């Protein structure tokens, strides 16, 4: 089991549930816009949020942002260790240092000294794009070795509040790096594929990389990186954790892709049910573990619908609702959404 650290009030590692992180895409100096985005992320299910600290003004903005948000705030630091010092002084709940661009021992020690005093953790966050390549070995080793050396510097300061990430932009190198590291160390791991691309490819890469590691019991917190709305990152992260049955964020919809046999607007029905479930999540807390099957015809429809808690197998302009495996009633197409939600 990994060591446990705490970011604000959120536990990472040591058997705690795998948490969801994201990062704001606003200019951190714009406090209003950053606070607005953090609130959107929190509403979507984000549990820890990171902000980019590009300069001293951004480091100072942490204080004002913290007053207005509930989520623990991580300061993302590159190039200038003094930004980390300023971010800690202003109340950051965790610091991310990049070993590829902050590597002087005296600088690392100064940051660790202040982090220790304020009792906040440091993420040693290696990215394949910024790590100093130490040899001609494979990418995974090239990332793991400098991170282990970095950790030794922190440990010499009696600093153990450490979390590690080893992100490459391809899933396979990322998996290899995390696996290699987890054999050598029990510090908790922040998983992610860096620069994974837009949602269409990024979600697939992240699901493969993060999913493969979590299936092997590796990983304590995750961030899906997408070129796009960060809320999408949180939704994708929730879906990865739910698919692996590590966390549960609400009822699961099972629906068929439709084909030429389908004689109702199944896509419309599924979208409406999905939207209502998301909006009514709190009201549906009791049904968090439910499965809802929405199937387009009688081929797979009755089977899937019967296995779900509530299901519908559609026919021509109507559908048969099943509840806990038993036929309940036949309803008209226009009433399907209403009746399904009623039964749920
Ligand atoms: S359940 Fe029916 S409509 Fe849906 S994909 Fe299968 S055959 Fe097509």
Dihedral sign from CA coordinates of 209, 211, 217, 219: positive
List the residue whose alpha carbon is closest to atom 2 of ligand 1: 297
State the DSSP H helix or E strand holding residue 321, giving kind and residue range, or none if neither.
strand 318-323
pLDDT at 136: 46
Please indicate whether residue 256, judged by its CB atom, sits closer than 6 Å to ligand 1: yes
Please indicate whether residue 257, judged by its CB atom, sits closer than 6 Å to ligand 1: yes
The pLDDT averaged over each successive group of 10 residues in the chain (344 residues) is 96 97 98 98 97 98 98 97 98 96 94 97 88 58 90 96 92 93 97 90 95 98 96 96 92 92 95 82 58 87 80 92 88 94 84
Of 298, 308, 290, 285, the C-alpha closest to 330 is: 298
pLDDT at 85: 98
Q: From 259, 315, 316, give the residue whose CB has the most ligand 1 atoms within 8 Å, as the site to mutate.
A: 259
Q: Where are the domains of the chain?
A: 5-243, 252-343
CA-297 nearest atom, ligand 1: 2
Cα separation, 273 vs 103, whole angstroms: 51
Q: What is the pTM of this model?
A: 0.90
Cα separation, 286 vs 47, whole angstroms: 22
What tokens does 148 get?
């282990």
Topology annotation, domain 5-243: TIM Barrel (3.20.20)
C-alpha 234 to ligand 1 mean position (Å): 30
Please indicate whether residue 258, judged by its CB atom, sits closer than 6 Å to ligand 1: yes
pLDDT at 301: 73
pLDDT at 195: 83
C-alpha 205 to ligand 1 mean position (Å): 28
pLDDT at 289: 67
For the chain, how are helix, strand and coil distributed in percent, rounded to 5?
A: 45, 20, 35
**Residue pair 190/164 in contact by the 8 Å Cβ criterion:** yes
pLDDT at 326: 87
pLDDT at 269: 95
**Residue pair 333/265 in contact by the 8 Å Cβ criterion:** yes
CA-313 nearest atom, ligand 1: 1
- Per-residue HEC secondary structure of 24-86 comes to CCCCCCCHHHHHHHHHHHHHHCCCEEEEECCCHHHHHHHHHHHHHCCCCEEEEECCCHHHHHH
Task: State which CATH number among 3.40.50.970, 3.30.413.10, 3.20.20.70, 1.10.10.10 fits the domain covering 252-343.
Answer: 3.30.413.10
Cα separation, 308 vs 291, whole angstroms: 5
Of 238, 260, 258, the C-alpha closest to 249 is: 238
pLDDT at 129: 75
Q: 7 φ, ψ to 5°? A: -115, 110
Q: From 254, 257, 262, give the residue whose CB has the most ligand 1 atoms within 8 Å, as the site to mutate.
A: 262
Under DSSP, is residue 121 helix (H, G, I), strand (E, B) or coil? coil
C-alpha 321 to ligand 1 mean position (Å): 16
């Amino acid at each position: 089991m990994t060591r446990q650290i705490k970011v604000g009030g959120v536990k990472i590692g040591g058997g705690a549930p795998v948490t969801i992180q994201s990062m704001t895409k606003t200019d951190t100096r714009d406090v209003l816009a950053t606070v607005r985005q953090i609130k959107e992320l929190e509403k979507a299910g984000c549990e820890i949020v990171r902000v980019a600290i590009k300069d001293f003004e951004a480091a100072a903005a942490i204080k004002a942002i913290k007053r207005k948000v509930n989520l623990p705030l991580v300061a993302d630091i590159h190039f200038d260790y003094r930004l980390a010092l300023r971010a800690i002084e202003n109340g950051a709940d965790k610091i991310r240092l990049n070993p590829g661009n902050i590597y002087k021992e005296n600088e690392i020690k100064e940051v660790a000294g202040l982090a220790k005093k304020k009792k906040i953790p440091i993420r040693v966050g290696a990215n394949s794009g910024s790590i100093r390549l130490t040899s001609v070995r494979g990418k995974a080793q090239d990332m793991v070795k400098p991170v282990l050396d970095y950790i030794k510097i922190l440990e010499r300061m009696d600093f153990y509040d450490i979390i590690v990430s080893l992100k490459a932009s391809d899933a396979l190198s990322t998996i290899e790096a995390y696996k290699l590291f987890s054999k050598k160390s029990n510090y908790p791991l922040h998983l992610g594929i860096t620069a994974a691309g837009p949602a269409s490819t990024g979600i697939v890469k992240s699901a493969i990389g993060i999913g493969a590691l979590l299936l092997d019991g590796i990983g304590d917190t995750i961030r899906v990186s997408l070129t796009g709305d960060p809320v999408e990152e949180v939704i994708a992260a929730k879906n990865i954790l739910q698919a692996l049955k590590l966390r549960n964020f609400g009822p699961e919809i099972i629906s068929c892709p439709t084909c030429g046999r389908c004689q109702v607007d199944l896509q419309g029905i599924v979208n409406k049910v999905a939207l209502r479930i998301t909006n009514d999540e709190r009201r549906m807390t009791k049904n968090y573990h439910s499965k809802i099957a929405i199937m387009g015809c009688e081929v797979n429809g009755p089977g899937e619908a019967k296995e779900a808690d509530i299901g519908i197998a559609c026919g021509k302009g109507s559908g048969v609702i099943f509840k806990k495996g038993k036929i309940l009633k036949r309803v008209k197409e226009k009433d399907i959404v209403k009746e399904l939600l009623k039964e749920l």
